């Protein structure tokens, strides 16, 4: 898929809006950055004139506009009613993130996007709201609300992904589940959520790159793709294992850091829900991996076209190599 020049222009203004929100010294400046970010992402969704893209753009615009109205209204009240205003700002940011219990729009919008836009929605679009939430973590009530939203996101993100065959919805519920870990990290440590976000961004980049190359949007399309190969099957499997946080893959490192901090703070009940949800997400990742690997066998494969065993893409391997850092990381402690 080739992108027009305007795509890169809007992508630049989108990232600029995120940085304006992060670096702003007032809620009004943060709101301007969020609006610039929103108005730059809409053209990125609808760069092809298809009804599915237009529907996703309309849903995204309405939800984000509702969140922006609540955000700027709460910012005005901050001078007189600080606690109520901060709570309303937190709720508006959770709505913009797609965190539970405001997650209802996220899988529906994700279903109408292409893989590059899915990467942007899962990563860059969450940077500014998460940073603004971290600025609010100076009240025990707001911290408890964030932890509650984290627990709900963990349960909904794991249970919602069961028995799905559409890859975009699986990635959407997976993103909601990973958002629960980020929200928990935001409430306890600024550095830990940033580490988690950066590692998650590289992992989701490798997954969306493979699916974008294969142009697959469902489990059946992935298995029967004419461009599928043993190399792609191995890369997808390792990416999903890293996304699930299974040791010794790279995705386990940020979860390990957050678990250590939560144990030190005696947050046993939230940690139980996060680990329980992680096991459920691992189940539906393994369901994809096992079915894909088994059907690579020519005897069991319904697609009679030859699957190349030597199809190799250095670009995809380079993008996915980040997932192997967790395997090499323990060697550091062996040799020091």
pLDDT for 310 equals 45
pLDDT for 122 equals 93
Q: How many domains in the chain?
A: 1
Average pLDDT over residues 220-232: 69
pLDDT for 165 equals 82
**Sequential DSSP letters for 34-96:** HHHHHHHHHHHHTSS--HHHHHHHHHHHHHHHHHHHHHHHHHHGGGT-HHHHHHHHHHHHHHH
Between these two residues, 1 and 67, which has the higher pLDDT value?
67
Pairwise CA distance, residues 104 & 72, whole Å: 22
What's 307's DSSP letter?
A: P
- CB–CB of 233/293 below 8 Å? yes
Pairwise CA distance, residues 221 & 202, whole Å: 24
pLDDT for 306 equals 45
Average pLDDT over residues 207-227: 79
pLDDT for 236 equals 83
Q: What percent of the chain has pLDDT over 70?
A: 84
Helix (H, G, I), strand (E, B) or coil at 311: coil
> pLDDT for 19-73, tens place per residue?
999 998 888 999 999 999 999 999 888 876 566 778 888 999 999 999 999 999 8
pLDDT for 210 equals 85
Average pLDDT over residues 181-201: 92
Which residue range is the domain that position 151 belongs to? 5-335
> pLDDT for 250-289, tens place per residue?
889 899 999 999 999 999 999 999 999 999 999 888 888 8
Q: Is the model's pLDDT at 309 over the cut of 50? A: no
Listed residue (198, 178, 185, 298) closest to 240, CA to CA: 178
Q: Is the model's pLDDT at 147 over the cut of 60? A: yes
Q: Is the model's pLDDT at 164 over the cut of 70? A: yes
pLDDT for 2 equals 59
Pairwise CA distance, residues 49 & 59, whole Å: 16
Report the chain's mean pLDDT, rounded to a whole number: 84
pLDDT for 161 equals 86
Q: Is the model's pLDDT at 89 over the cut of 60? A: yes
pLDDT for 221 equals 79
pLDDT for 304 equals 45
Pairwise CA distance, residues 176 & 155, whole Å: 9
């Amino acid at each position: 898929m080739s992108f027009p020049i305007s795509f890169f222009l809007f992508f630049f203004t989108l990232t600029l809006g995120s940085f304006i929100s992060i670096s702003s010294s007032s809620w009004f400046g943060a709101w301007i950055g969020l609006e610039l970010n929103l108005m730059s992402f809409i053209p990125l969704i609808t760069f092809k004139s298809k009804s599915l893209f237009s529907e996703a753009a309309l849903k995204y615009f309405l939800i984000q506009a509702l969140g922006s109205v609540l955000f700027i209204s709460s910012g005005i009240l901050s001078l007189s009613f600080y606690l109520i205003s901060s709570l309303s700002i937190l709720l508006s940011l959770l709505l913009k993130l797609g965190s539970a219990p405001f997650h209802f729009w996220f899988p529906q919008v994700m279903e109408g996007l292409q893989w590059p836009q899915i990467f942007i929605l899962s990563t860059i679009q969450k940077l500014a709201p998460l940073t603004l939430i971290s600025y609010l973590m100076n009240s025990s009530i707001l911290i408890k609300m964030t932890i509650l939203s984290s627990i709900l996101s963990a349960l909904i993100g794991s249970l919602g992904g069961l028995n799905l065959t559409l890859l975009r919805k699986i990635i959407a519920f997976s993103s909601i589940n990973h958002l629960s870990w980020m929200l928990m990290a935001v409430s306890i440590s600024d550095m830990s959520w940033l580490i988690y976000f950066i590692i998650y961004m590289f992992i989701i980049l490798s997954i969306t790159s493979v699916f974008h190359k294969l142009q697959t949007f469902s489990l059946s399309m992935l298995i029967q793709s004419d461009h599928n190969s043993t190399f792609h099957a191995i890369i997808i499997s390792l990416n999903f294992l890293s996304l699930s946080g299974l040791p010794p893959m790279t995705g386990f490192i940020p979860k390990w850091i957050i678990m250590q901090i939560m144990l030190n703070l005696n947050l046993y009940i939230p940690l139980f829900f996060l680990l329980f949800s992680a096991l459920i997400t691992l189940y539906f990742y393994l369901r994809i991996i096992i079915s894909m690997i088994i059907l690579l066998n020519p005897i069991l494969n319904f697609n009679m076209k030859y699957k190349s065993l030597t199809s190799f893409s250095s670009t995809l391997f380079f993008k996915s190599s980040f997932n192997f850092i967790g395997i090499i990381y323990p060697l550091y402690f062996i040799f020091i």
